[in-house]
Amino acid sequence: MGRVAVVGTLIVFLAVSCGRVSPLVAQHAASPSRVSTPSPVPTPAPPAPTYGLLLSAGSLELIRPDASIAATAPVAPSSVQHCTAGHDAAVLQPPVSASNSLVYFRDGDTRLRSLSPSGQTAEVTTVPGGPTTVSFFSVSPDDQRIAVLVEDLSGPATIALRLYVEDLVGHGHHSDIYRTSTPKGKSGTTLWLMGWHQGALVLAVMVACTVEPVALRPIEWHVSSASTADRIVTIHPASCNLSLWPSPAGVGCVGNVGNGGSITVYDWSGKAVANATPGFTDSSTETGVSPSGQRVFFATGPDDQPYLAHTDVVPVEPANVGVQFHSRSACSWIDEDHLLTPGAVLEIPALPVLPPGTYGGFTAQPFKLPAAGTCAGRFPGGL
């Protein structure tokens, strides 16, 4: 707008100063109906706020990038905590899902509630639950549909799995789209409903139950139809550890020390679209892709353990500059410049552009959270 206005002013100034304004031009200038009014330029909308989601001390917290808590709500645990009476561990997904406008959480066994960034809570719907049954879920980005995975642990040796999709409010248009059973043990797998991508479900295949310590990482990622459960995409590369939390840009897979610890980024079509290599270490076990897909983190834990935990952040190729955080192990991105860990927020400083063939590394300090917890994803939740 500014450039057009300046050009218009110069034309009028030159015509008047040279004394060559014709009667026709003067008549047009005097006619209110012919006065040209510059069109207003829309003011760009401010970026939508983003939050990390944390379960801490029996509450769901929305964590701002500055590590302050924007909103919180109490969350009661489900009755199911173990696979069998022998108290072998059930690997349970955090009972939280984010749309693009609200965060939803299961409160106790069956109540599904919502939490807004301003702190308002509301009753939404119910899901199956009880002493031997537990449900996990994902709400569509537009708040219209919900996918629910029901785990029935009443069997002596197997877990029955049922996946259904229905309207978020009122249980309408209900459709059971998948049923199976899985062994109770380290060979059994379950599904974590992790989001929606272009109307399809994004699921992580996870160990369901184990008597051994287990690292929480997916075996593979699926994109499946929300109406039939038919597999559309499978992401299952060999010899690397997949991201636990997804990004709109996809997921990463970080290799072990033997193959250099590099990361490959896969988009939601299953295509390998980028690579990156950490500059500080090649022993990282966790990774995540930023919302834009332009950065990745490498991390190893446990969080807040000196000499053990660290997080490295680098751009995707060419990646010749990075930042490291000591004693903190990131779990997911909040936005392009902030990472969530179980006990802190990591702010990524501006990184300089270095000449090709050189490498630069920087260290930074985290913002400590009031209390540590369990990472539960990111808001907004659309993939």
Please report the pLDDT score of residue 280 as a whole number.
54
Q: Among candidates 292, 299, 310, 234, which has minimal Cα distance to 263?
A: 299
Task: Name the average pLDDT for the chain.
Answer: 83
pLDDT confidence tier of residue 308, bands split at 50, 70 and 90: confident
Instruction: Give the Å distances, CA to CA, from 56 to 49, 92, 137, 220, 370.
Output: 21, 16, 20, 28, 10
Please report the pLDDT score of residue 187 as a whole number.
86
pLDDT at 217 over 70: yes
Please report the pLDDT score of residue 9 as a whole number.
28
The three-state secondary structure class of 357 is coil
pLDDT at 44 over 80: no
* Between residues 113 and 277, the one the model is more confident about: 113
Strands (E), 7-157: 51-56, 59-63, 69-74, 89-90, 96-98, 103-107, 111-115, 121-126, 133-139, 145-152
pLDDT at 211 over 90: no
pLDDT at 97 over 60: yes
Q: Among candidates 241, 332, 247, which has minimal Cα distance to 293?
A: 247
Average the pLDDT over 320-343 and give the result.
91
pLDDT at 298 over 70: yes
Query: Alpha-carbon torsion 148, 154, 155, 158, what sign?
Result: positive
Residue type, 375: C
Domain boundaries, the chain: 51-236, 237-374
The three-state secondary structure class of 145 is strand
pLDDT confidence tier of residue 121, bands split at 50, 70 and 90: very high
Q: Which of 193-197, 204-208, 327-331 has the highest mean pLDDT?
A: 193-197
- Only one residue has tokens 């537990």, namely 134
CA angle (66 as vertex; 60, 69 as ends), nearest 5: 25
Please report the pLDDT score of residue 230 as a whole number.
97
Average the pLDDT over 103-129 and give the result.
97
CA–CA distance, 193 with 210 (Å, rounded to integer): 20
Please report the pLDDT score of residue 327 as a whole number.
87
Which H or E run contains 9? Answer: helix 2-17
Helices and strands counted in the chain (H then E): 2, 31
The pTM assigned to this predicted structure is: 0.85
Percent of the chain with pLDDT over 70: 78
Burial 355-367 (b: 16+ CB within 10 A, else e): eeeeeeeeeeebe
* Between residues 214 and 117, the one the model is more confident about: 117
Residues 124-137: tens digit of each pLDDT: 999 999 999 999 99
Please report the pLDDT score of residue 301 as a whole number.
80
* Between residues 40 and 170, the one the model is more confident about: 170
Please report the pLDDT score of residue 19 as a whole number.
35
Asked whether the beta carbons of 330 and 341 are under 8 A apart, the reply is yes
pLDDT at 8 over 50: no
Please report the pLDDT score of residue 88 as a whole number.
65
pLDDT at 167 over 70: yes
Please report the pLDDT score of residue 229 as a whole number.
97
pLDDT at 110 over 90: yes
Residues 223-269: tens digit of each pLDDT: 999 999 999 999 999 888 899 999 999 999 987 544 456 889 999 99
Please report the pLDDT score of residue 317 as a whole number.
72
Please report the pLDDT score of residue 279 as a whole number.
58
CA–CA distance, 356 with 240 (Å, rounded to integer): 28
pLDDT at 169 over 80: yes
Asked whether the beta carbons of 300 and 257 are under 8 A apart, the reply is no
